[in-house]
């Protein structure tokens, strides 16, 4: 993800997450955080973002900051691809576990994470507002070493730019 992706990514984020969507400033702040972050965008045939994902990885514990796929592109494996890209990058950076938070009322995301080996480790009651929806904290540990394909995120030059 580059600075010029932020406007379209934020519009997609707003469409997908509604009141809990990130602002453009939040995406800018993540990109500006530099070395501890890794953000990727999957571009559709129309040149627009079909999905995006972000990682915080600086130590032994990494976090999925965000992951989303445009409605028209869902159900075709892109979410899996993005999640595996984050797992691979976290492992490459030396993380031993990968954590995420997910709304308890998001079965599609929970199914994806569970299928990829994440386990629920705790519940944050009434974490998401509005609506008093619980957050599940899920963790993948240890991190599998996934093969990197040529041209996939993780290559030199695909890093988020330093601030
Ligand atoms: C969660 C999300 C990223 C999945 O992306 P995707 O590209 O549709 O995922 P995939 O096609 O790779 O599917 C992977 C798995 O997710 C689960 N899944 C996807 N869509 C689903 C649905 N509508 N209902 C139930 N499970 C679903 C399944 O386990 C699926 O595996 P399967 O195809 O073997 O059954 C996508 O639904 C999304 O962006 N949702 C809105 C934003 C969001 O909730 N992000 C996560 C915040 S924590």
Does the beta carbon of 78 sit less than 6 angstroms from any atom of ligand 1? yes
Q: Which of 99, 20, 117, 2 has the alpha carbon at shortest distance from 56? A: 99
Q: Which of 5, 117, 97 has the alpha carbon at shortest distance from 53? A: 5
pLDDT, position 26: 98
| pLDDT at residue 150 tops 70 | no
Distance (angstroms) between ligand 1 centre and the Cα of 162 equals 31
Share above pLDDT 90 across residues of the chain, in percent, rounded to a whole number? 84
**Residue of 39, 52, 89, 113 marked active site:** 113
> DSSP for 87-123?
HHHHHHTT-SEEEEEEETT-HHHHHHHHHTT-EEEEE
pLDDT band with cut points at 50, 70 and 90 for residue 149: low
- CA dist 86 → 15, 19, 124, 125, 147 (Å): 23, 25, 23, 27, 12
Does the beta carbon of 2 sit less than 6 angstroms from any atom of ligand 1? no
Q: Which of 149, 84, 148 has the alpha carbon at shortest distance from 118? A: 84
> DSSP for 122-135?
EEEEEEETTTTEEE
| pLDDT at residue 123 tops 50 | yes
Distance (angstroms) between ligand 1 centre and the Cα of 163 equals 32
| pLDDT at residue 3 tops 50 | yes
Taking the alpha carbons at both ends of the chain, their separation in whole angstroms is 13
* All residues at 6 or more sequence positions from 11 whose CB lies less than 8 Å from its CB, including other chains: none
**Residue of 101, 116, 148, 158 marked active site:** 101
Does the beta carbon of 55 sit less than 6 angstroms from any atom of ligand 1? no
Report the predicted TM-score, pTM, of the whole model to 2 decimal places. 0.90
Active site residue 89: no
Convert the pLDDT of each residue in 21-77 to its tens digit: 999 999 999 999 999 999 999 999 999 999 999 999 999 999 999 999 999 999 999
| Mean pLDDT to the nearest integer, 122-129 | 94
Domain 3-140 has CATH 3.40.630.30: yes
pLDDT, position 148: 62
Does the beta carbon of 49 sit less than 6 angstroms from any atom of ligand 1? no
Q: Where are the domains of the chain?
A: 3-140
Active site residue 113: yes
């Amino acid at each position: 993800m580059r600075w010029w992706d932020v406007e379209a990514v934020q519009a997609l984020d707003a469409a997908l997450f509604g009141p809990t969507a990130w602002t453009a400033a939040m995406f800018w702040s993540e990109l500006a955080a530099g070395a501890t972050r890794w953000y990727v965008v999957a571009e559709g045939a129309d040149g627009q973002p079909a999905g995006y994902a972000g990682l915080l990885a600086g130590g032994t514990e990494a976090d999925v900051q965000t992951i989303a796929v445009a409605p028209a592109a869902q159900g075709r494996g892109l979410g899996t691809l993005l999640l595996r890209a984050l797992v691979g990058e976290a492992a490459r950076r030396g993380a031993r576990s990968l954590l995420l938070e997910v709304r308890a009322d998001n079965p599609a995301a929970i199914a994806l994470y569970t299928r990829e080996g994440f386990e629920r480790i705790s519940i944050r009651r009434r974490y998401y507002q509005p609506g008093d929806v619980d957050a599940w904290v899920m963790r993948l540990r240890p991190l599998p070493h996934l093969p990197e394909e040529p041209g996939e995120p993780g290559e030199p030059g695909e890093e988020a730019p330093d601030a």
